[in-house]
Amino acid sequence: MIRQYETMFIVKPTLTEEEIKGRIEFVKETLTKQGADIKAVTEMGMRDLAYDIEKNARGYYTVIYFTAPTSAIKELERVYGITEDIIRFIVVSYDKKVEQAAWEVMVKKALGQPVEEKKLSYGPRGGDRKPRGDRGDRGDRGDRGERKPYKPREDREPKEDQDNSAKGE
Amino acid sequence: MAERVKYIKRHCKYTEAKIDYIDYKDLSLLKHSLSERFKIMPRRLTGNSKEAQDMVKIAIKRARHMALIPYIVDNKKINNDFWDKAQNK
């Protein structure tokens, strides 16, 4: 049964560029030998690892998208296991319909075709609201004129000693 | 009378952005569900929908396996600019 897969592996950083290319070709060959159809290859390049793997702080990441019969995966994982220059690998199968659609999009992206990028929005809630535009300054409101002279209120008794309230009961 | 706890209504950011699959390579999507120390944040704090949380859980575990994000943060060498570095690549 043919399924859609994705595999990512990390090659040791100590190798020369040609050797790294050789390892990638080697993986591709093993795939094609097993009847896999390689759709796209993305080289993420040399990256810092989040933690050391076999005392390596960096690694060369490669992603391969392919379709293959299920039997090919076992052989691929066996080859990964016995290749010392590959320090980490993962094989992901895309089975559900949603996943398969996502796989197609990822292949498109890997081939350099334009893909609609979806990102999380971190704005305030109701972020769909249109910007309100620049409404400009309010302008000068003119002079406020003279203040009215102080006049004690008639409906209240005149103030007694100040700070009475602060002392409490 | 029991005291009432005030709940803030939260929204699933993944649903709002209409993301139907969370890829483990896309670290910008995973960042939202990770704590400062790279733990998976619970749904009650992020507001993720159940579907999104299930996907993000798997994606984070895959990313950890491939050393894209750390399992634990070492107290002795804290990498403060991890996300800045990750965005450049």
pLDDT in tens, B6-36: 666 678 888 888 888 999 998 888 888 998 8
Share of chain A above pLDDT 70, in %: 84
Q: Does B56 touch chain A (CB under 8 A)?
A: no
pLDDT of residue B6: 63
| DSSP bridge pairs for A69 | A2
pLDDT in tens, chain A (169 residues): 889 999 999 999 999 999 999 999 999 999 999 888 999 999 888 988 988 899 998 999 999 999 999 999 999 999 999 999 999 999 999 999 999 999 999 899 888 888 887 777 765 554 455 556 667 777 777 788 888 888 777 777 766 655 555 555 4
| Interface test mutation site (partner B, options A5, A12, A47, A103, max chain B beta carbons within 10 A) | A47
From the list B16, B25, B67, the residue facing A53 with the nearest CB is B67
Q: How is chain B split into domains, by residue range? A: 21-88
| Interface test mutation site (partner A, options B21, B41, B65, max chain A beta carbons within 10 A) | B21
pLDDT of residue B47: 87
CATH number of B21-88: 4.10.640.10
CA max distance for chain B: 55
- CATH class assigned to A2-110: alpha beta
To the nearest whole Å, the CA of B66 is away from the closest chain A CA by 7
pTM value is 0.74
Contact criterion met (CB below 8 Å) for A69 and A1: yes
CB contact under 8 A, B89 and A119: no
